[in-house]
Structure 1
Amino acid sequence: MIKKLIAGMLMMINFSVVQAQKVNVKKAFSDAAKQMEVLVKEIGSDTLAMQKNLVSPRTVENGKFKMVNSRDWTSGFFPAELWYLYAYTKDEKWLKLARTYTEKIKKEQFNTGTHDLGFMIYCPFGNGYRLTGDTAYRSVIIQAAKSLSKRFNPVAGVIKSWDHNNDKWQYPVIIDNMMNLELLFEATKLSGDSSFYKIAVTHANTTMKNHFRPDFSSWHVLDYDTKLVENVEKAGSNQQNVEKADRGKVLQKVTAQGYSDASSWARGQAWALYGFTMCYRETKDPAYLAQAKGIARYILTHPSIPKDGIPYWDYNDPKIPNVSRDASAAAITASALYELNKYDVKAGYRSAADKILNSLNTSYTSKPGENHGFILEHSTGHRPANSEVDVPINYADYYYLEALLRSSGK
């Protein structure tokens, strides 16, 4: 076991130092800003989108520019990108646009039908509040946390992800859900209400217990036993010890967007790395740091990782290398590694992040004016459904800009 750990660390160090060229952040932001100007024009010229109350650009698929309404899980990324452009440039143009497009997502603070309020609300409103101190944004964050909290079941110990496909699962929880916990942590800071913090920690602990294999790879979807949950809840104080060992019992460990139930979906690994790194920042619980480092080791030393560090869409697809990459997973990973480096500066995480970011910057960015203004190419959304395969997509751009900011120390 010790030999395997040492070998893994050596592999990670090797990954980190080879071709770890740093990106020219100033130029990268300049190029990104030019693309975003194109994207803003595309939005303004999309009359059909205006008629359908579509508020945010999501992707380009089959050559078609795709906008989404505010209820889409990706709706908050575009306004959040605008906030990042403002954060770096301090150009009032981006501030005005960020405020305008953030406002279009505002009503989702009351949405109790999704677990994705962290993406939808915290990315734009959290950055907006951080950069402006606007108390109206603070109120939206707190209300969104209240809405998200309604999806938490204290017996199962997790926040429910999806309400659909009840014929397939009872109480599905996806690894992506780790990303929405930051909203809850922030809401406790802003409101003083510790219930949000407690929910976040309970969800993280339950996920850490159930969602991972021994090698720190993750399943995508876990299905919890809601019938057991309901029975225990009904029993109340009269049966406090009934089936305690089985509370939150997992019925299935499956995938929805990966290659197979036994495989490791690349973006899921990235969500996990980012989520547990963030949880360590917010709690200083060493268990979360150990979890993040284990996930990082899995990502950085996996045999299927290409030389440029940009993963294929699933680490275990048998058709590798003849399958799509996922630039979004790479961008999320790079951003997470920059933060993880703060907590262990000797592990080589920054060099690994530099390498990934440099690959994205040099080989995965759109040519000027192309892809309707999206910044990165070659992301994979939902390959099993043949949806958004090898396309530009807004969350890839968001985490790419975040990684650029983190690489520069901002």
Structure 2
Amino acid sequence: MYFLRAAVVAIALQLSGVANGDVIEDRILAKIYGVATKGKTNGVVPTPTGWPEYVIGTATSYTYQSSGAWTTGFFPGTLWLLYQRSLTKTLKVSSVELLSLARTWQAPLRANKDRTDTHDLGFMIHDCFGWDAILTGNATARQTVHDAAIALSQRYNSVTKTIRSWGSISDTGSFTVIIDNMMNLGMLYWAAQQFGNTTLSDIATSHATTTMNNHFRTDGSTWHVLNYNQVTGAVTAKYTNQGYSDSSTWARGQAWAIYGMVSAYRWTKNTAFLDTAIKAADYFLAGLPADGVPYWDFNAPVTGLRDTSAGTIVASGLLYLVEQAPAYKDKYLQRAIDLIDDTIALSQSPPAVYTASPFAVSDIGFNAFLMNGTIDNNPAKTHTAASSNTGLVYGDYYLIEAQNRLLGMGLLAA
């Protein structure tokens, strides 16, 4: 019953149609492998000095960020996700090589593990070192995640009952929390389980509870940014930074909210978190256009700007929900598959030029697999070409993660 829409199939569902499963899988692999091995000399990949973040629509190559940027964990994370897939099915690049590439790309990022000046350590550390620890049991990776969780916990405020998003931990002014911060709680929960550190899980649950109570509107939509008074804990402002307006719903923020609440439910089994995720997911799905790919903001005038990253985050989040609450399989499994199908159909970039055996990429072309991402289109800001119609490293990351979830459910051909 789940293998519908044969004309546009998800990766590796092995149905007939323009998006033949193995062809799409190889195209994704070619993009990531081509970027990962760029500059390879005598079989050795050089130590990275920059990490892919976005490809503007008028270019082909990634713009790279320094090791301290919030997005740095996603590219090594995609390599870990391909490694995870290679343990179940045969890819054109071996598990051994994917493991080596993932560790090469993540190694310089370990220096971020003790930072207390950012709330994004889950993205930066857990999305790569966390996979290393989970998939290989590597002790150094495991300790790295715990160190990062300890550092993140320093940004928690017992009055606001949240983790600060922006600013220094010593700031005494407005205490700012963005919905994105829900995505960093998984690292706290995992580290708490691994090391028996209940302080970390208590902080995560406190933040999730406060976010549930304050960031969500009655219809299941979300505000992007909240300010708190550090003396009273009261909310003093609700607004957007990357969405259309303070009263609108930024699509990727809504995606972070859905996925983050599912994660909180996974670790606590608090049904209030699950109910919140479901209401937010229903809002997101109800707001999709006919072609199934979200616009960058649900309430903005239709401008043609999409955000494929919001769609892939929700696809993975819905499959995560089905994993944790199987009673919702009939409601959400096909919708997640549809999001994957529709996103690939509308936004697949031109394929790289590669040979199949031995696997080699001669021309990556547009470096990201997906196009039509939007970082930011807030009309109050001055935007660059990077802001919209881009390829986003995290859009590809969550697409691959979603596909791996389907593989784990037995719905992708091994």
Maintained 8 Å contact 1:158/1:173: yes
Query: Deviation of residue 174 (structure 1)?
Result: 0.1
SS in 2 for 1:396: helix
Q: Which amino acid aligns with 1:183?
A: M
User: Aligned pair in 2 of structure 1 residues 214, 17: CA closer, same or farther (>3 Å)?
Assistant: farther
Contact 1:219 1:254 in 2 (8 A): yes
The letter of the residue matching 2:62 is F
1:119-268 correspondence runs (5 A): 119-163=123-167, 170-226=174-230, 228=231, 247-268=232-253
Shift of 1:339: 1.5
Equivalence map 1:316-335=2 (5 Å):
316-318=299-301, 320=302, 322-335=303-316
Q: Distance in 2 between matches of 1:308 and 1:43?
A: 39
2:67 & 2:269 partners in 1: Cα distance? Answer: 34
Tell me the TM-score normalised to structure 1 length. 0.84
Q: Equivalents in 1 of 2:304, 2:49: separation in Å?
A: 32
Tell me the alpha carbon deviations over residues 27-54 of structure 1, each in whole angstroms, 9 at most, x when there is no partner.
Answer: 2332211111221244659xxxx99x73
Alpha-carbon distance in 2 for matches of 1:35, 1:215 = 39
The one-letter amino acid of 1:398's match is Y
- The residue that corresponds to 2:358 in the other structure is none
Check conservation: 2:53, 2:72, Cα contact below 8 A: yes
Which structure carries more helix by proportion?
A: 1
* 1:377 and 2:385 are equivalent in the alignment: no
Q: Report deviation, 1:362.
A: 2.5
Tell me the SS of whatever aligns to 2:345: helix
Letter of the aligned partner of 1:274 in structure 2? Y
1:9 alignment counterpart: none
Alpha-carbon offset, residue 275 of structure 1: 0.3
**Would the alpha carbon gap of residues 94 and 346 (structure 1) be closer, same or farther in structure 2, given more than 3 Å must change?**
closer
* Shift of residue 24, structure 1, vs aligned partner: 3.5
SS in 1 for 2:374: strand
Q: Which runs of 5+ in 1 are unaligned?
A: 1-15, 229-246
Give the corresponding residue for 2:293.
Answer: 310
Aligned to 1:401: 400
Deviations 1:351-406 (A, max 9, x none): 10010101122331211125543111110001224243110010001001001111
Comparing 380-389 with 329-338, greater Cα deviation is found at: 380-389
Cα 1:327–1:35 shift into 2, 3 Å: same
The one of 248, 255, 273 equivalent to 2:258 is: 273
2:348 corresponds to 1:349: no
Query: Residue 67 of structure 2 aligns with which residue?
Result: 70
Matched AA of 2:247:
A
Amino acid at match of 1:60: V
SS in 1 for 2:388: strand
1:217/1:295 contact within 8 Å kept: yes
1:325–1:379 CA contact under 8 A, matched in 2: yes
Q: Partners in 2 of 1:346 and 1:111 — Cα distance? A: 39
Aligned to 2:53: 58
Q: Which amino acid aligns with 1:218?
A: T
TM-score under structure 2 normalisation?
0.83
Letter matched to residue 393 of structure 1: L
The separation in 2 between residues aligned to 1:334 and 1:67, in whole angstroms, is 26
What secondary structure does 1:380 align onto?
A: coil
CA contact (8 A) 2:349 2:366 kept: no
CA separation in 1, counterparts of 2:313 and 2:219? 20
Q: Which residue of 2 aligns with 1:392?
A: 391
SS, match of residue 253 in structure 1 = strand
Q: Name the SS of the counterpart of 1:248 in structure 2.
A: coil
Q: Give the letter for the 1:353 counterpart.
A: A
Equivalent position to 2:83, from 77, 81, 86: 86
Does the 8 Å contact 2:54/2:63 carry over to 1?
yes
RMSD value, Cα: 2.3
3-state SS of 1:381 partner: coil
Task: Measure the CA separation in 2 of the matches of 1:405 and 1:379.
Answer: 21
How many residues were matched structurally?
A: 365
Larger mean Cα displacement after TM superposition, 93-102 or 194-203? 93-102
Contact 2:50 2:65 in 1 (8 A): yes
Partners of 1:335 and 1:254 in 2: CA distance: 27
Query: Which residue is equivalent to 2:29?
Result: 33
Cα displacement (A) at 1:19: 4.3
- Secondary structure at 2:387 match in 1: strand
Amino acid at match of 1:375: F
Aligned residue for 2:180, secondary structure, equals helix
Tell which deviates more after alignment, 344-353 or 135-144.
Answer: 344-353
- 2:284 counterpart residue number: 299
Deviation at 1:292, TM superposition (A): 0.6
Select between 127-136 and 342-351 the one with higher mean Cα deviation.
342-351
Distance 1:18 1:313 in 2: 27
Q: 5+ residue gaps in structure 2?
A: 13-20, 88-93, 353-363, 410-414
Q: Which amino acid aligns with 1:376?
A: L
CA contact (8 A) 1:259 1:265 kept: yes
CA deviation after TM superposition for structure 1 residue 338, in Å: 0.8
Cα deviation per residue 1:52-82 (whole Å; 9 max; x = unaligned)? x733111112525311111100000000000
